[in-house]
Structure 1
Amino acid sequence: MPIHAQLLRHATERPDKPALAIDGRSLRYGELSLRAKAIYGFLQELPHSTRRTLDLPGVEKLAALSLGNHIGFAEYFIAATAWPHAAAVIDPMMPPERIERIIERLAPDVLIVDDEASPSAEIGRRLGISVITAGAEPFDFTETEGDLPDDAEGIFLIGFTSGTTAEPKAYYRSRGQWRRSLDRGRVIFELEDAPSTMCPGALAHGLALYAMVEALDAGGTFYSVRKWDAEAVARTLSAEEIERLVAVPTHIAGISRAWAAKPALTSLRDVLTAGAKLDVNGVESMRRLFPKARIREYYGASEIGFMTVSTLVGGAVDFPIDRVGQAYPGVEISIRDPDENNVGTDVPGTIFVRSDLIADGYLWGDDGQAFRVTEAGATVGDLGELDENGMLRVIGRAGGMMISGGNNVYPAEVESALKACPGVDDAVVFGLPDAYYGQRIVAVVSGEATDPKILADYCADKLVRYKIPRQFYHIGSWPMTSSGKIARGHVETAVISGDDLVLRLSA
């Protein structure tokens, strides 16, 4: 990880300061440093995988972490990303068959899990991979000779992001990219005095993972929860007088509802959101809940990093609510037509970025439909427009990608799951505006399957929970285009208008 020198400094100067706390369990900076060194020594002694076919230049050992929000996540992540090693972060809540495909392709030298009986652990053992359960380690944490190596260039992180197919795409990043991002962010987000930070999201996802690393880099205390619980998060924010909250709008809406009858959370000085666009109601709710906080949001992507940042409340100038801000320092944004010509201001097109924060690429899953790098810059296919002041408005996601609860969801993935359900002939999935989720996932199916509970339960066996449709409709005959494809726009319009072409399914 590109913060090892900072961690050593914090551990030396403030060894007893809590580095992170999850559900009442905490780990001090001195402990974190010593435990990470012991784990690093263990990794050094591990035999190399003989099954790996991936080309990972400069990577000696690859550790796959399927830990969830475990108190040991930070120490394993720090050890596994110290040069010359790398970490792959896997969401243990993914369907087991997807986890198995990822682990099989990665062929890591070791798999770290939070439960020896978890699906990830069972998969690792079946594939002949060394499995370590956090909290039941077979090595001595007192064996901590030497320091973790200084940061060096090369791959340190492999992450996974949803694609236009059901298979997650594996992207990889270098230490230098995150080092540059962290150095700028410490100034932009005013982290020099090491504020305490809460991020209740999953550490397997980019928002929470970066928030944790950002807090540790600055020397602050990072707070999270094992499992999302709005009231528990609000209680922690209040009891610990946390100064900074990083969360998707859906989480903040949940905190607001859970804490509605209680005193405002006045310790918060900063609230940073991402993953979905805030609306006016959301901002007003945050004003009441966090009356002393500056409210900011950023727009970015796992593959590109920060693109824009804005201050909606509490800045020298509050940004318009319908914009996601101006370019992040070191980032240049342009809007381009299908031929990648710059269209200028106030004209819609594809958002392109030139930046030194962009990921190196994909290890697999590059479908050419989202992230790509050309002479014009990098893009994830999002559509938007710039005004004369360089303020960016995001219009939508190319390829129909939805953002529900701050999570990226591609229709093709949900449709694939539904089409495998007995009694479903075909399916169309899209998102509709939703005050809570940002976008509500809606599915229209044809065939004999008409029980929404059966459809939802089937999806639950194939998909992460946030990808399960929240409304189901049935259609007897699909409207078709002249080329013989389903007229998806017509189907969506029928749902919105209440056309009797579709029938809403109810239990």
Structure 2
Amino acid sequence: MNLVVPLLHYATQQPDKVALSDGHESRTYSALVQRMKQIAQGLQLSGLNQEKVAIISTNRIEFVEVFLGAIYAGCVPIPIDPKWSSKEVNVILEQCQPKMIFTENAFAKNLVLQDREIQLLTFSAEEAGSYDNWSDTLNSEAEMNDTNELLFIGFTSGTTGTPKGYMRTHLSWMNSFKATSEAFQLNNMEHMLAPGPFVHSLSLFAIMQSLYSGATFHIVKDFNTRKVLKLCKQIPDMILFVVPTMIESMMQEEIPYQTQIQAVISSGGKWTEASKNKCKEVFGGVKLYEFYGSSEASYISYLDIHAENKPNSVGRPFHGVEISIRDEHFQEVPTGSIGQLYIRSDMMFKGYYQLAEETTAVFRDGWLIIGDLMYKDQDGYLYMAGRSKNMMVTGGLNVFPEEVESVLQQIPEIEEVMVLGVPDTYWGEQVTALVKWNGQQRLSTEEIKNYCRQHLASYKAPKQIISVDQFIYTSSGKMARQAMKDYTKRVMI
């Protein structure tokens, strides 16, 4: 089944309902389907059949039109982050070899197109771009090509390294949409908002979830706290898909008390217990959910913040998700013991694009290896011990920065923290904390050590503290660990 089939139904059953709105322009379901078919016809007339179509764009209606049009035509859309450097963008283009590129005028000048046959179409807010001229010449008589099981190729946000292309199928996302309805106790799905970049899986998923459910998706060009809260004040029963940093920003405003938000659904980073408790106070009766997942796995587990008292847990598995926690010998570990997380579900991705070895490395006997170290309690709730790729070895002992960070985040004087290992001739790696302070008061390294020793083994306590004014984030709102590690190296030289 093709993921856009429900849109065809809505275009007939609720043609005048708004599908997309950016506050200035909107598309009803009938108008959106017409544009989708026009773009599909243009792709097909250009000879594209299951070919790749790149989209390099900020959040805008045209992004969604092209994404849907490519799918309807049987092509494979590839969203590429416009915030990447021109070198990174061109590497991805060289790897994927799209036959057509849709972008904004501002980004087009940075593209290096080796293949002169690639057609380039541009959006423009100021004047009609080539995209408008091209699409206006087309009609909406295109036939849907549903022979391609591949839905799109996305790219990881690169928090710790080079982005990899992950391949998602129609069926994997449709199964994920069903999981949303089963897990989150929503009154209705009428209005949705995901203010992160469309090129990242959380917001892109929310758009398609909204359209698949016949709801109205509200587009904001980029995350602006006041703009988001103003929308939530104007639109009743808004469902928000956000990352924890966005929640923190919203809670600093006074407007939340006046909003009509139905639910806040958080992912893309660990939501601290302190922030959750504050959120319950600030947003009152708003439904609060946290889910744990990835671009490759889709949904893994979720937590109802109001109903479930499981501090620091990432929740219980979604329906249909099998969980296995195993040791280095692929043997299941006892309840309460830490091991590598494996999952199996019908929501998983197909593999990494043109990376056979990396794909083989993350699958074993049908199980997907997540790369996170976990343990589960007697009730089946999952707890993250750390990312295997972030693990430090200090004095011959393993330390996971996430475990230390969860303790440091409880200190009122600390606003934000990241823990990493710094090379050391004696320890191998010295546990180091990068700290953004919450105000003028700063604690000494010894004071922080003493606090940590109440909750952690002594060797896990930071041996040095580096104060930072701010942290670097990826465009999806996650802390850019590799960039912060590079920063630390420069500071310590």
Does the alignment reach a TM-score above 0.5? Answer: yes
TM-score, normalised by the number of residues in structure 1? 0.75
Cα distance in 1 for partners of 2:465, 2:60 equals 48
Map 1:25-424 → 2, pairs under 5 A: 25-47=25-47, 60-82=50-72, 84-113=74-103, 115-118=104-107, 120-125=108-113, 127-128=115-116, 129-134=118-123, 136=129, 137=131, 138-141=133-136, 143-146=138-141, 149=144, 151-152=146-147, 154-162=149-157, 166-190=161-185, 193-257=188-252, 259-260=253-254, 262=255, 264-313=257-306, 317-365=307-355, 368=358, 372-375=362-365, 377-400=367-390
What SS does the aligned partner of 2:385 have?
Answer: strand
Q: What whole-Å deviation, never above 9, does each CA across 1:49-69 have from its counterpart, x for those lacking one?
A: xxxxxxxxxx62211111121
Residues 279, 321 of structure 1: 8 Å contact kept: no
Q: Secondary structure at the match of 1:338?
A: coil
Q: 1:348 to 1:146 in 2, by over 3 A?
A: same
Q: Secondary structure at the match of 1:272?
A: strand
Equivalent residue letter for 1:123: L
- Taking a change above 3 Å as real, the CA distance of residues 140 and 171 of structure 1, as seen in their structure-2 partners, is closer
Three-state SS of the structure 1 residue aligned to 2:284 is coil
Contact 1:247 1:274 in 2 (8 A): yes
Contact persistence 2:70–2:77 (CA under 8 A):
yes
Identity of aligned residues (%): 26
Deviation for aligned residue 1:105: 1.1
Q: Given residue 265 of structure 2, which amino acid in structure 1 is its aligned partner?
A: L
Partner Cα separation in structure 2 for residue 82 and residue 31 of structure 1: 15
Q: What SS does structure 1 have at the residue aligned with 2:223?
A: coil
The whole-number CA distance in structure 1 between the counterparts of 2:71 and 2:380 is 36
Q: What residue number does 1:458 align with?
A: none
Instruction: Specify every segment of 5 or more residues in structure 2 that has no aligned partner in the other structure, as ranges.
Output: 393-400, 435-444, 446-460, 467-487
Q: CA, structure 1 residues 285+151, in 2 after alignment: closer, same or farther (shift >3 Å)?
A: farther
Cα RMSD (Å)? 3.3
CA distance in 2, matches of 1:110, 1:8: 25
Would the aligned equivalents of 1:4 and 1:150 in 2 still touch at CA under 8 Å? no
Shift of 1:72: 1.1
Matched residue, 1:9? 9
Structure 1 unaligned spans of 5+: 49-58, 403-429, 446-477
Q: Choose which of 479, 482, 489 in structure 1 pairs with 2:424.
A: 479
d(CA) in 1 for partners of 2:309, 2:303: 6
Structure-2 change in CA distance of 1:140 and 1:362 (3 Å): closer
Tell me if structure 1 keeps the 8 A contact 2:292–2:314.
yes
CA distance in 2, matches of 1:44, 1:171: 25
Q: Which residue of 2 aligns with 1:466?
A: none
One-letter amino acid matched to 1:283? K
- Classify 1:401/1:16 alpha carbon distance in 2 versus 1 (closer, same or farther; 3 Å): farther
Shift of 1:319: 4.1
Q: Give the whole-Å Cα distance in 1 for the aligned partners of 2:64 and 2:256.
A: 32
Q: CA deviation at 1:77?
A: 0.7
CA distance in 2, matches of 1:310, 1:319: 9
> Does the CA-based 8 Å contact 1:177-1:356 persist in structure 2?
yes
Contact in 2 for aligned 1:8/1:33 (Cα 8 Å) = yes
Contact kept? 2:244, 2:269, Cα under 8 Å: yes
Q: 1:439 and 1:492, CA in 2 relative to 1: closer, same or farther beyond 3 A?
A: closer
1:111 Cα offset (Å) = 0.7
In the alignment, is the contact (CA less than 8 A) between 2:352 and 2:358 conserved in 1? Answer: no
1:19 equivalent in structure 2? 19
Scaled by the length of structure 2, what TM-score is found? 0.77
The answer on whether the counterparts of 1:192 and 1:218 sit within 8 Å (CA) in structure 2 is no
- Give the structure 2 partner of residue 421 of structure 1: none
